[in-house]
Amino acid sequence: MAKAWKRREGPAVLATVDAAKTPNVIYVGEIHYVPGEGFIVADNYFCKTRANIKSGTKAAIYWRKRGGWSASGMAARFITAWRGTPR
């Protein structure tokens, strides 16, 4: 998966579902893959997505490259403070 991630094109797509199984699908530009750990996605006003992740939903990520790739699994929310210099 790491090789496919390095060759991705454009933003990724993140899909979650709520308790009623209603899907929520968004584009994400700030996303990073950490081998052996999973994906880190910046929360840019993810109201529905954030609520779905807090409820313990599964999530799926799709990104474009030749043939397409996807990954799915449990979603978890982590909060960290920004300690860098804004660009």
User: What confidence score (pLDDT) does residue 70 get?
Assistant: 67
User: What is the torsion angle, in degrees rounded to the nearest 10, for the CA atoms of residue 85, residue 26, residue 29 and residue 62?
Assistant: 140
Boundaries of every domain in the chain: 2-74
Cβ burial, residue 75 (10 Å; 0-12/13-18/19+): buried
* More confident: 4 or 86: 4
Q: Answer yes or no: is pLDDT of 86 > 70.
A: no
Q: pLDDT by residue (tens digit) across 13-40?
A: 889 899 898 999 999 888 888 888 888 8
Please give the distance of CA 19 from its chain centroid, rounded to a whole number: 19
Query: What CATH architecture does domain 2-74 belong to?
Result: Roll (2.30)
